[in-house]
């Protein structure tokens, strides 16, 4: 046999606890999202790196004249000296001819040592030419790297400017979204405080001990009574005693903080709580989603069409999903409070119940 009056009372308390849980979790979710809005971002582009090259080592001896040129000069000097000397003798310029002969002998004498130095000159000349080639390549590579670096720096500046401009627009949009969130959070917080007052008033009949006045406990007590396992709350064979035993055995949870981490256990052992949390999750997700959509719509209206934010927020308070939810919940909870008079007359010390008016079961 089911204690229908106690069942109905606990069912209403369960519904009001579910509403408080829905409102609180929705507020927490919106606050969490608000914290990430309208925060300027910093550009995170990779800064160009100027490629550097090692300059070639300069040879100790710089030889610009090739070995072939040295040989050619020595031979030409000797040949020219001899030719001039011969011409001078043939033309009767004996004095100059003798002088030319001396010069020719000197040129011929210098020819052989010059040939001996060609090998050393060849090494220095080759080293000098190789150095020039390496220096030219180094200068070309350095110039190309500098041009590339300057081009990449200009591209970085363009990208940074574009990023900052786009981020400025994003921050402005999110600033509007944040105001929408904060408006809804304030509205929902106010509604939750009123819901808490109505629930406290509902509990003021002292039908449920203060220790068990939270969502997990009320759901568990409701389930015990609703399925007929227990007829009353108190006593050796009452629902309180069974609940305490389940707690000691670790089969059920007793606080809201455990809900998110122990859903598997709740699903197995606390069916009423599991369905309550599941229904609340649907409502929470819907309220959060609708708030997100409203914030985007209002943000676009304000930033793109130069709309008035104040008027948009005023309109939001009349038409938002949260406002509709609050209106429905307020009407429902006021209806519960109106039935308290009937409950107070039905709960007697001996547990004897009189017939309740049909309005209680509407």
Helix (H) or strand (E) holding 82: helix 67-90
Residue 268 structure tokens = 């197995």
Closest by alpha carbon to 56, among 126, 130, 145, 140? 130
Whether the CB-CB separation of 292 and 36 falls below 8 Å is answered with no
Alpha helices by DSSP H, 256-339: 263-269, 271-305, 309-319, 321-338
Tokens of 280: 């609340």
| DSSP run (H or E) holding 189 | helix 94-203
- Which tokens is 254 given? 């007793």
Handedness of CA 268, 272, 275, 280 (dihedral sign): negative
* Calpha distance 284→257 (Å, rounded): 17
User: How far are the Cα atoms of 45, 151, 165, 238, 274 from residue 158, in angstroms, in the given order?
Assistant: 11, 11, 11, 75, 55
**HSE-up of 110 (CA within 13 Å, CB side)?**
17
CA–CA separation, 53 and 145 (whole Å): 9
Residue 175: both structure tokens together: 């600033």
Other CB atoms within 10 Å distance of the CB of residue 282: 10
Reference 297, options 157, 127, 176, 159; nearest CA is 176
pLDDT 10s digit of each residue in the chain, 362 long? 568 889 999 999 999 999 999 999 999 999 999 999 999 999 998 999 999 988 888 877 666 555 555 556 556 555 666 666 666 566 666 665 566 556 555 554 555 555 555 555 667 667 777 878 888 888 999 999 999 999 999 999 999 999 999 999 899 889 988 988 999 999 999 999 999 999 999 998 889 999 999 999 999 999 999 999 999 999 888 999 999 999 999 888 888 888 877 778 888 889 999 999 999 999 999 999 999 998 888 877 777 766 566 666 666 666 788 999 999 999 999 999 888 777 776 555 434 333 333 343 33
Neighbours of 74 (CB within 10 A): 20
- Token readout for 231 is 């007829």
Cβ-Cβ contacts under 8 Å for 51 (sequence gap 6 or more): 145, 148, 149
Whole-prediction pTM: 0.71
């Amino acid at each position: 046999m089911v204690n229908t009056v106690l069942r109905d009372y606990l069912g209403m308390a369960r519904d009001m606890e579910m509403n408080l849980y829905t409102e609180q979790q929705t507020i927490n979710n919106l606050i969490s999202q608000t914290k990430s809005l309208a925060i300027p971002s910093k550009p995170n582009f990779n800064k160009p790196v100027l490629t550097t090259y090692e300059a070639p080592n300069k040879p100790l001896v710089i030889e610009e004249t090739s070995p072939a040129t040295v040989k050619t000069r020595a031979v030409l000097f000797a040949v020219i000296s001899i030719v001039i000397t011969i011409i001078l003798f043939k033309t009767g310029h004996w004095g100059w001819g003798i002088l030319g002969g001396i010069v020719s002998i000197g040129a011929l004498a210098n020819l052989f040592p010059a040939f001996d130095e060609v090998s050393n000159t060849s090494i220095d000349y080759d080293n000098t030419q190789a150095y020039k080639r390496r220096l030219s390549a180094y200068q070309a590579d350095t110039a190309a790297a500098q041009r590339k670096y300057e081009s990449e720096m200009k591209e970085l500046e363009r990208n940074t400017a574009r990023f900052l401009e786009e981020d400025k627009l994003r921050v402005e949009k999110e600033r509007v979204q944040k105001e929408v969130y904060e408006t809804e959070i304030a509205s929902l917080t106010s509604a939750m405080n009123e819901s808490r007052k109505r629930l406290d008033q509902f509990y003021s009949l002292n039908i449920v001990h203060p220790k068990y006045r939270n969502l997990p406990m009320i759901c568990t007590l409701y389930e015990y009574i609703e399925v007929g396992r227990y007829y009353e709350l108190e006593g050796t064979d009452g629902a309180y005693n069974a609940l305490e035993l389940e707690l000691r055995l670790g089969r059920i949870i007793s606080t809201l903080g455990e809900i998110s981490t122990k859903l598997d256990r709740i699903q197995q052992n606390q069916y009423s709580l599991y369905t309550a949390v599941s229904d609340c999750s649907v409502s929470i997700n819907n309220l959060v989603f609708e708030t997100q959509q409203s914030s985007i719509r209002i943000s676009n209206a304000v930033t793109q069409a130069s709309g008035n934010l104040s008027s948009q927020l005023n309109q939001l308070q009349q038409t938002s999903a949260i406002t509709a939810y609050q209106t429905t919940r307020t009407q429902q909870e006021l209806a519960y409070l109106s039935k308290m008079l009937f409950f107070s007359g039905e709960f007697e010390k001996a547990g004897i119940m009189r017939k309740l008016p049909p309005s209680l079961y509407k």
